[in-house]
Structure 1
Amino acid sequence: MAKKIAKTNAARMLDKEEILYELLYYTVEDGKVDGVSVASKIGYPPELVYKTLVASGASKQTYVFVIPVAQELDLKKAAKSAGEKKIDMIPVKDILSLTGYVRGGCSPVGMKKPFPTFISAEAEKLSELIVSAGKIGMQIKLAPTELVSVTKGHFAELTASIQ
């Protein structure tokens, strides 16, 4: 008999909001949970798979940034989008207590409390994207507009320009 996999906070929140999504699963025996490896494991191009980064502004406000897994957050652009002078990444040791999620399984949906959320502008052109479901080994595929809706987020320029 197949073991039923429990839903995460992110999946429960999407259900509550009646948002269509698909759960995708991958194995972690090799220990690789970086975004590019996860994209390969679930069989999607890295351009469709997004990572969730948690940062803090000079005001001490916490922010969530959702960007493609193969790109890096441009801290100056992130600060500008959040209306802050400066943005710093949250130390890994603080992610669980702040969000309720572990590094590598941090979803922008269903955190302990809602934080201002910014989604990389290139996602606006996609029909679907993939983010963590809130647990290592699980991803959620949904429309970017639905992600904006459920997180009360905004599209913003967040990554360095790719030449």
Structure 2
Amino acid sequence: MELSGGALSIGRKQLESHDSARADELKAKSEAYLAVIESACKNSAKLADLLRGGARLSGLELLWDYHIGELFRVNLNMLKTIPAHELGGYDFVVAHSVVLTKMIRMESCLLYLFETQKQYKKLQPRWVQFQYDAIISDDELVQKGLANYKEAHLEKIANVSSRSSL
């Protein structure tokens, strides 16, 4: 039995529509994951800028307790909920894990500083600066992770767009 040209055309249009909807869904999910990563990296950069500016530890602790800390926790929770198997490839997984692990380390380093200050009251400025420098270095890796993630994202979107337009 032969199908008419009209039936083939309808079938082809349905397939194209399905492929287009799938591409749109993939783009939307990828954009959402990118937004989570960008938000986290933005807050990481703000913290590093405060440290570069020589923020006093006591003032930093107040900022952490009333603003920055909660942003960090929310960002970390959102990063942790992104399923690695859905990111779309090796470059995404590596970039995501770099951002996540370095931000966890940044937070733990700060919390350790705050706890140590409570215990000993007066900390050696050189030791505090050493910890600040470690956090700043971690942020540099976070920002590189973001750049790598964005690059992989743009490539993915270009590939999805080119496949859906075929």
TM-score by length of 2: 0.22
Structure in which a larger fraction of residues adopt strand? 1
- Give the structure, 1 or 2, with the largest relative contact order (CA under 8 Å, sep 6 or more): 2
TM-score by length of 1: 0.22
